[in-house]
Amino acid sequence: MAELNVQPKKKTSYLPWILILLGVIALIWFLTRNKDDNNRDAVSKSDTTTTTATPVTTLATGSARDTGNSDWNGIDFNTPPVDYEELTNREINVRGTTNYGIYSLEENILFDAGKSSIRPDAAAKLKQVVASVKKRYNNGEVRVYGYTDAQGSTAANNQLAQQRAEAVKAWLQNNGIDAAKVSVNAIGEAKPVASNSTEQGRQQNRRVEIVARGSNATK
C-alpha cells in the first residue's frame, strides 16, 4: 500500500497584520495631533496679534487729564507778564504773546480751601477775565488749566484740579464764552511754580489758569 505523506496545515500568523494596523493607527494619531497643535498655535498667534493691536490707555501718575479738540502744546507758560488795560484787579495776573493770553488766578481768589465751588466774591474778577477774552480773543478758543499743591495723594489732587477747572469752565460758559470753544486740562500737582515745602509756595501752586487764543488776537 502506498504511504500517504500528509503535511500538517501551517497556522496563519496574524502578528504582522496587527503590527501594521497599530502602525497605521499611530500614524493617523500623530498626523491628527500635529494638525491640532498647528491650529492651536494659529489661534494663539491670532489672539496675541489682536491684543497687541488694541492698546490700553492708562493715566500715568501725576499726568494731566485733558478734554478738548485741539493741540495746546505750543503755549509757553513762562512767557513774560503783559499789561491788559481792561484788567483793573491786580489779583489777576496775565502773561502772553501776540497770539495768546494766560490769565492766572490763585486758589484763594476763586475757591475755599479744598473746595471746587466758585466763591460768590470771585464773580467780579472772572467778569473782568471774560471781558478781556471777548475783547482780544473773541473768535478764538479758551482752555482752563487746574493746578494744586503736592499735599495729599496725587489721585486726590488730580480730581480736585479737574473739578475746579470744570467749575471755571461752566462759569465762563454761563457768562458769555461760547461753550463749544472752552475745554479743560487738569494738571494737578505735576507743574508747580514754587516750592511745595512752604505754605507760601503751596499757595502759589494752587491756581487756575485761563488761556485764550485766536486769529484776531490783539495787544
Q: Are residues 161 and 74 in the same domain?
A: yes
Q: What is the pTM of this model?
A: 0.68
Q: How confident is the model at residue 218, as a pLDDT?
A: 47
pLDDT in tens, 141-191: 999 999 999 999 999 999 999 999 999 999 999 999 999 999 999 999 999
Query: 207, 101 in Cβ contact below 8 A?
Result: no
Domain-located, residue 132: yes
Q: Are residues 90 and 157 in the same domain?
A: yes
Q: Are residues 182 and 93 in the same domain?
A: yes
Provide the mean pLDDT of the chain: 81
Q: Are residues 24 and 73 in the same domain?
A: no
Give the CATH number for residue 209. Answer: 3.30.1330.60
| pLDDT greater at residue 82 or residue 38 | 82
Q: Are residues 150 and 44 in the same domain?
A: no
Q: Are residues 93 and 181 in the same domain?
A: yes
The domain containing residue 42 runs over which residues?
A: 18-49
Name the nearest CA neighbour of 95 among 106, 107, 105, 103: 103
Q: Are residues 128 and 198 in the same domain?
A: yes
At which residue does the C-alpha cell 478738548 appear? Answer: 68
The pLDDT confidence band at residue 19, using thresholds 50, 70 and 90, is confident
pLDDT in tens, 80-117: 999 999 999 999 999 999 999 999 999 999 999 899 99
Domain-located, residue 9: no
pLDDT of 57 higher than 50 = no
Q: How far is CA 202 from CA 101, 125, 126, 155, in A?
A: 24, 22, 22, 17
Q: Domain total for the chain? A: 2
Q: Are residues 40 and 140 in the same domain?
A: no
Q: Are residues 112 and 197 in the same domain?
A: yes
Query: 112, 102 in Cβ contact below 8 A?
Result: no
